[in-house]
Amino acid sequence: MNFKKEYEKLASIAADEILSAKGREKLEEIKIKFLGRKGQLSLLMKNLGSLEAEERPIWGGKLNSLKKKLTQALEEKVKELLDESKKYEAIDYTLPTGDISLPGRNPVLSVLEDVSEIFTEMGFGIAYGPEIETDYTNFTALNFMDDHPARDMHDTFYLRDSDMLLRTHTSPVQIRIMQNYPPPYKFIAPGKCYRRDTIDASHLPVFHQVEGLMVDKDVNFSHLKGILDEFARRFFKEKIQTRFRPSFFPFTEPSAEMDIACTICEGKGCPSCGGNGWLEILGAGMVDPEVFRHCGVDSNIWQGFAFGMGVERMAMIKYGIDDLRLFFQNDLRFLEQF
Ligand SMILES: [Zn+2]
């Protein structure tokens, strides 16, 4: 054997193996391999005789100090592993538990349930539709012109090589119901929607909406106002002030946006409401005859209104939350408050 080479090899790998050993068993193996009676160090000791006489004491001394060094490293490692295992032993699994705090409901879910409950109490049914829609049901049937900015690739997730897309609003549920069932209609449609937005405090690529549709032979704009006013009173508080502003949506005519008096400053003006005292909560309007035509509903006999609200927005207003992302981070410190 080449004594010096073997020595170098042992000196370079033994200490590393000891330091990186995981667990007592592995360490014991290493101990036998290097320091045991038939281990590599003993083998070298026995081979001291193969060296020149004047070299033997030098290499003997080197082997002894290597043995000392490795023994010390082993002892330190044993102690380290012991300390580590004590950490776990310190947990007494038989002790009774302390207070367990369970998170409340996610505010988004609470709002979805509250809104559904309020409208079902007012006689509305609940309808659901698919999250993958066609360009026709998501846009065309809802009277979005071909060049409408909402159809832009930047806003919509299209499925590759098809006219299918992830619905950008819950309004296509109106189309599906009207195409498949005869009037009258009175339902809401809660669900997820998707838009290509960059994530920040007020934008997420996935969000929830609740759509509503009421169609009958003599439904007019005052029904729209009455029902949405009643909804706001039940959802926020009995004496909430509301107002309707003219607006535009492709699928309703006339269209309106509904505001409530700011829940923080009660209409006086504060940073939350941009200083004007009002918060926009939903969009609504009388169903455009063009939409009825796409669904085969005779607009000379039937008329009605539709509305849509953003669930996350309602939750932010109701619970005073200023960052949308909090709803989906599953942070217990946030969820425990509800
Ligand atoms: Zn305010």
Same-domain status, 58 and 144: no
Q: Which of 89, 115, 146 is the last residue of a domain?
A: 89
Q: Residue 281: which of 324, 253, 314 has the closest Cα?
A: 314
Tokens of 221: 């704009």
Same-domain status, 166 and 221: yes
pLDDT recorded at residue 188: 98
132 occurs within a structural domain: yes
Ligand 1 centre to CA of 229 (Å) is: 19
Same-domain status, 21 and 133: no
Q: What is the mean pLDDT of residues 51-60?
A: 88
More confident residue, 82 or 280: 280
116 occurs within a structural domain: yes
**What is the side-by-side strand order in the sheet with 252-261?**
125-126, 185-194, 206-216, 303-310, 278-287, 252-261, 242-249
Which CATH number fits the domain that encloses residue 231? Answer: 3.30.930.10
pTM reported for the whole predicted model = 0.69
Give the span between the Cα atoms of 314 and 226, in whole angstroms.
19
Ligand 1 centre to CA of 234 (Å) is: 20
Ligand 1 centre to CA of 55 (Å) is: 91
Same-domain status, 58 and 179: no
Q: Which of 62, 89, 116 is the last residue of a domain?
A: 89
pLDDT recorded at residue 310: 94
Ligand 1 centre to CA of 237 (Å) is: 16
282 occurs within a structural domain: yes
Give the span between the Cα atoms of 24 and 4, in whole angstroms.
31
- Whether the CB-CB separation of 179 and 292 falls below 8 Å is answered with no
95 occurs within a structural domain: no
318 occurs within a structural domain: yes
Q: How far is CA 124 from CA 115, 127, 309, in A?
A: 11, 10, 16
Residue span of the structural domain in which 113 resides: 107-335
Ligand 1 centre to CA of 108 (Å) is: 22
DSSP structure class, residue 99: P
pLDDT recorded at residue 154: 65
Ligand 1 centre to CA of 282 (Å) is: 17
Same-domain status, 228 and 306: yes
Looking up tokens 């599906």, which residue turns up?
A: 176
Same-domain status, 215 and 123: yes
pLDDT recorded at residue 286: 98
Same-domain status, 19 and 125: no
Total domains present in the chain:
2
244 occurs within a structural domain: yes
Give the span between the Cα atoms of 172 and 135, in whole angstroms.
10
Ligand 1 centre to CA of 267 (Å) is: 6
pLDDT recorded at residue 158: 92
Same-domain status, 77 and 115: no
277 occurs within a structural domain: yes
Give the span between the Cα atoms of 167 and 272, in whole angstroms.
30
Neighbours of 302 (CB within 10 A): 20
Q: Which of 26, 60, 89 is the last residue of a domain?
A: 89
Same-domain status, 62 and 118: no
Same-domain status, 216 and 73: no
Ligand 1 centre to CA of 274 (Å) is: 7
Per-residue pLDDT band for 149 (boundaries 50, 70, 90) equals: confident
234 occurs within a structural domain: yes
Per-residue pLDDT band for 242 (boundaries 50, 70, 90) equals: very high
Same-domain status, 66 and 187: no
In the chain, alpha helices (H)? 3-19, 24-35, 40-46, 56-89, 107-121, 135-138, 172-180, 221-235, 289-295, 311-319, 332-335
Same-domain status, 317 and 203: yes
Ligand 1 centre to CA of 221 (Å) is: 28
pLDDT recorded at residue 218: 94
Q: Above 80 in pLDDT, residue 233?
A: yes
Model pLDDT for residues 66-87, shown as the tens digit of each residue:
999 999 988 898 888 888 877 7
The upper half-sphere exposure of residue 308, i.e. CA atoms within 13 Å in the direction of its Cβ, equals: 22
